Chains A and B, each alone.
Chain A
Amino acid sequence: MEHIRAINDLVVRFANVNGTGSASANNMFAKAIFRMGIPVSPKNIFPSNIQGLPTWYEVRISEKGYLGRREGVDLMVCVNPQSMARDVESVKPGGYFVYDNTKKLHSEFIREDIHYIGIPMTAITMKHYSDPRQRQLFKNVIYVGALSALLDIEMDVLKGLIEGQFQRKQKLIAPNFKALELGESYVKEHFQYPLDIRLERRDNVGDQILIDGNTAVALGAVYGGATVAAWYPITPSTSIVGAFEKYANRLRKDPETGKSRYAIVQAEDELAAMGMVIGATWNGARAFTTTSGPGVSLMSEFLGLAYFAEIPAVLVNVQRGGPSTGMPTRTQQPDLISSAYASHGDTRHVLLFPSTPKECFDFTAQAFDLADRLQTPIILMSDLDLGMNDHVSPPFEWDDGRQYDLGKVLSAEDLENIEQFGRYLDVDGDGIPYRTIPGTHPTKGSFFTRGTSKDEYARYTENGAAYVRNVDRLLKKWETAKKHVPAPELYQQENSNDYGLIFFGTTTYAALEAMEVLGEKGIKLDALRLRAFPFNETVREFIADHKQVFVVEQNRDAQLRSILINELDLYPRQLIPILNYDGQPITADTIEQLILSHYPQEKKHDDIHQTQVPAS
């Protein structure tokens, strides 16, 4: 049998049944490893179902800090008979299969090349707990206890987590401790422990935090000054407004009256949600909505209005998989084109691409400034993987001296001092006009906001020349936007290789790992991470500097590649698509294999010889 030996470099997968309380035990497992100073990356793989169907929780543990998904399970904890055949199959040769052996394992699940560790979880709970719900819940804690012995997870860390979790329900601490110990002692009595794959405390996470992107977005909205949230529930965006409510409720109540300094409206649909955002921002508040692909389709009409009438709006699109209802609980990056050009006519929207929770926080707060500054919708492009899974992230920071940039808004005093107010006049030459908020001045500054074409003074017109002036100014504003949006990140001082790599969002984790692995094989690439659309000059230069550029993204149609070709007027062959769209987060291995399959054979060879010689 193959033998795996690994310290702090493994993938552990849990197979559970939806709705059985496994989530909190599985989170405890990941968090304990994080607290042992070892980077972890947990992923929920769940069905669109409330109770009964199989769900998985996969934790990649990597002391090197590789946090993308990796194929191949080193240790599987299977407490779901429904999925057992698949689960046995997914274990790497030499890996471990932990299961409930209260009932004997059927022979069809026996593989010669993996190790089996049977723990009578059901029997133990039957013996020690009487309440049926408790029996179900503690079964989960028992397997965590067993893993603590098998993998060398520090028991004190686990107990500390339980104490933290049940601060307000002290009664539950003792029975949880007991469940941990039951699992631990069973392993200690029956098996050799720890296994050859195991953990060791490190100091590799520093002051980082473990948090999901949706919570980070919610906090960004609280800090960024959002007062109106209008939304319609849709996976995987739903938890954002929940978290916004939780923190706003804690941090945004008027101390004297207890009244709210925010309003949350669960709209009747996404059209209305977007309408409410536009109404609120038109009236000078900061407002946002959250949704996923289907919601963006519905919001398109309003996005066009906000673009054309120049009204700020913040939209968070937590992307999921596929067209139509698609794969609601799977991840992809499939809404690039539909978001960038949402709505009819010549429209285009600013997109932000966060790749960590820290960026979710920063970009959300910044999105409100950008929306006000540019007077246009700003779409934050998150995805299910980033939004719903915990990620190791730098801690969030806030400069207390920071002021909100409310953009070009005229006060009553300003209005007194100007000759004639023209809502759509390009006074500063940057394409961004001045606006007024209703109620500002008794006789000056009122105007009619409309989705029809208008002249510089907001008067309805179908005059062709006036229309052209207006939409050309919008293009000028688009140019201005390039200076305001987050710049791309480069991973080298200078572009020095023939081939480049472009990626964005959650693809980053796997892309960086793939780069390192390829580098070790002598294939060196320059890399650029996009953080926003429109693209600035750095992106154009990066592509121009390379013979060919691999564009990594998680959709079928290579949407980012199309946008790059169109916007930067590129020769299509220059951009090679590297795609993954099965709904699972892309892996480094996939990227590596796909790049290798496109990389010229001699080149591969050449590069190996050239490693000492700097490329020209």
Chain B
Amino acid sequence: MTYIKPRFRHPELPKNKIGFAKADYEGAISTLCGGCGHDSISAAIVQACYELSIEPHKLAKLSGIGCSSKTPTYFLSNSHGFNAVHGRMPSIATGANMANRDLIYLGVSGDGDSASIGMGQFVHAIRRNVNMVYIVMNNGCYGLTKGQNSATADIGSLSKGGAVNHYPAIDLVGLALELGATFVGRSFSGDKTQLVPLIKAAMSHPGFALLDVVSPCVTFNNKPESTKSYDYVRAHLEATATIDFVPEKEEITVNYPKGKSAHVELHDGSIIHLHKLAPNWNPTDRYSAVNRLLEAKMKGEVLTGLLYIDPNSQDMHELENTIDQPLNTLREKELCPGSEALEKINASFR
């Protein structure tokens, strides 16, 4: 069942630039387990959209199947949503994006949804650089089907039913870097200060932006030894940098210590500020990101933050040279060549 939240609007509630209150970005009340990491990510999405002043109907939210994929019901109820089938959200998002390049596409998936059944589509959406934000709510298990190990589960970990996982974990972030993804970040559901600016930056990136967000499943995979548990992540969290996202033409109010910060300017004039940079790492250098990631892995750290961004990213529409006007707005006049052209075509077959 979906519970519709009563909407009490205090007239005094703060509004964003386009006059929407934060509540306007919320959704139905969550039916996930209390404490589930996924709910915190939903909250971060609401916060990011509110702060970015996104018109809710200009965003489409899409997901696959899983507890994680249920979350689009719990945010942005004024946005169209699409709960696809298990692992197949990337193709739906690709087609939707082809039809209308003017919307923001926010895809939500799980580790089962993306790293197993949907691996093929996940990989190819990255390869095509579909302009979308792709959040994997990664809990190392299949929540909705009651705790089986997923392909991101730690080697040696026990499923809820007691099965040992003999196979190494797939690291979606490493994979995406290898595939040529143009925006790669990792975060933790419990770290809103990092997650919100990351989502905002991802939404402004013209291309596929992957956010692999560790999101503990309190019911099936929150044992302290699991790298997807609250305890473990808190103890081993290591960030590439702290991040601020400054939308286009907004004043920069924070002062960063010199030499320890980097700025990446996006196509629309927005700026990502990174400070307290990790050594030997440069956010626009894929090679340094891969190295830094491997280093962290060897040390058992959970490396978070923005890992890589390609400031020259060209999305699928640019690569395909489709017209600027969304394809879904074209009608007979623009699409149908008419009877005269058809007569010529007939003549060529006589």
Task: List the interface of chain A (C-beta within 8 A of B).
Answer: 34-35, 207-211, 219, 222-223, 225, 227-228, 230, 247, 251-252, 254, 257-265, 267-269, 271-285, 287, 301-302, 305, 395-400, 402-404, 436-443, 446-452, 459-461
Q: Is the CB of B332 within 8 A of A442?
A: no
Q: Is the CB of A398 within 8 A of B1?
A: no
Is B334's CB within 8 Å of the partner chain A?
yes
For chain B residues 201-239, which have a beta carbon within 8 Å of chain A? none
Which secondary structure dominates where chain B touches chain A? helix
Contact of A282 among B96, B121, B330, B350 (CB under 8 A): B96
Residues 110-148 of chain B: 1 if any A CB is under 8 Å from the residue's CB, otherwise 0? Answer: 000000000011011000100000000000000000000
Q: How far is the CA of A438 from the CA of B95 in the complex (A)?
A: 13
Contact of A211 among B73, B128, B349 (CB under 8 A): B349
Q: How far is the CA of A182 from the CA of B283 in the complex (A)?
A: 70
A265 proximity list for chain B (CB < 8 A): 94-95, 98, 128
Is B13's CB within 8 Å of the partner chain A?
no
A397 proximity list for chain B (CB < 8 A): 339, 342
Contact of B91 among A211, A267, A440 (CB under 8 A): A267
Nearest B residue to A274 by beta-carbon distance? Answer: B91
Q: Is the CB of A285 within 8 A of B57?
A: no
Q: Is the CB of B324 within 8 A of A259?
A: yes
Q: How far is the CB of B28 from chain A (nearest CB, A)?
A: 9
Q: List 30 A-B contacts (CB under 8 A).
A: A208-B350, A209-B349, A227-B328, A260-B320, A260-B322, A261-B327, A263-B320, A265-B98, A268-B121, A271-B91, A271-B120, A275-B88, A278-B95, A279-B62, A279-B98, A282-B95, A285-B100, A285-B327, A287-B99, A302-B88, A398-B342, A399-B339, A438-B60, A438-B103, A439-B80, A439-B100, A442-B78, A446-B79, A448-B83, A452-B83
Nearest A residue to B317 by beta-carbon distance? Answer: A263
Q: How far is the CA of A396 from the CA of B349 in the complex (A)?
A: 11
Q: How far is the CA of A208 from the CA of B350 in the complex (A)?
A: 7
Is B81's CB within 8 Å of the partner chain A?
yes
Contact of B332 among A34, A225, A446, A459 (CB under 8 A): A225
Contact of A261 among B90, B334, B339 (CB under 8 A): B334
Q: Is the CB of A283 within 8 A of B95?
A: yes
Q: How far is the CA of A441 from the CA of B128 in the complex (A)?
A: 30
Nearest B residue to A448 by beta-carbon distance? Answer: B81
Nearest A residue to B341 by beta-carbon distance? Answer: A251
Q: How far is the CA of A252 from the CA of B103 in the complex (A)?
A: 23
Q: Is the CB of A443 within 8 A of B330?
A: no
A280 proximity list for chain B (CB < 8 A): 95-96, 98-99, 327-328
Nearest B residue to A275 by beta-carbon distance? Answer: B91
Q: How far is the CA of A222 from the CA of B317 in the complex (A)?
A: 20
Contact of B84 among A262, A305, A440 (CB under 8 A): A305
Q: How far is the CA of A259 from the CA of B318 in the complex (A)?
A: 10
A227 proximity list for chain B (CB < 8 A): 99, 327-328, 330, 335
B242 proximity list for chain A (CB < 8 A): none
Is B345's CB within 8 Å of the partner chain A?
yes
A259 proximity list for chain B (CB < 8 A): 321-324
Q: How far is the CA of A280 from the CA of B95 in the complex (A)?
A: 4
Nearest B residue to A365 by beta-carbon distance? Answer: B336
Q: How far is the CB of B4 from chain A (nearest CB, A)?
A: 8
Contact of B57 among A268, A283, A287, A439 (CB under 8 A): A439
Nearest A residue to B350 by beta-carbon distance? Answer: A209
Nearest B residue to A463 by beta-carbon distance? Answer: B1
Q: Is the CB of B337 within 8 A of A446?
A: no
Contact of A271 among B1, B73, B88, B330 (CB under 8 A): B88
